[in-house]
Amino acid sequence: MTDLEFGPVELVLAAFEGDTPKAGVLEAILDLADAGTVRLLDLVYVTRSDDGVVDWVELDESGIELGEIDLAASGLASHEDLEELSGRLPYGTSALLLVVELTWAKHLASRLFEADGYVVDSVRIPAPVVNAVVEEARVAGALAED
């Protein structure tokens, strides 16, 4: 049996107004890591000024306090990742680029690899879109409520 060291990894660019995220955002990141839902591999603070200039620093150099967090692969987000993703930020905003291992999928990834299988595609639908579609379906009577 072959077990991969890491499961699938996802890069999440989470934007917010101002220079620092609200405490609830940081708490949610820590909660996910503490629960084992994800393993936080890298975390980068990104800003885009009002005139479009993009800058980024690793979290430990940003001045943002995240408490006791162990980044399993600090520096994993490449310069190319940061260039591509940070260009999507609106002017005058900041963001955290989270590089997270989807620990819930590690076992499946190991079994697929062992069977010479692979994931062809993966699509993430943003939570606000899912919630809007579900609410619309409920209003139309096409979906039962809990």
Average pLDDT over residues 38-49: 92
Nearest C-alpha neighbor of 3 from the set 108, 131, 99, 74: 108
Q: Is the pLDDT score of 63 beyond 80?
A: no
Which DSSP helix (H) or strand (E) runs through 16? strand 9-17
Average pLDDT over residues 85-101: 92
Average pLDDT over residues 48-61: 86
Q: Is the pLDDT score of 67 beyond 70?
A: no
Average pLDDT, the chain: 87
Confidence of residue 145 (pLDDT cuts 50, 70, 90): low
Confidence of residue 2 (pLDDT cuts 50, 70, 90): confident
Confidence of residue 96 (pLDDT cuts 50, 70, 90): very high
Nearest C-alpha neighbor of 61 from the set 49, 51, 47, 72: 47
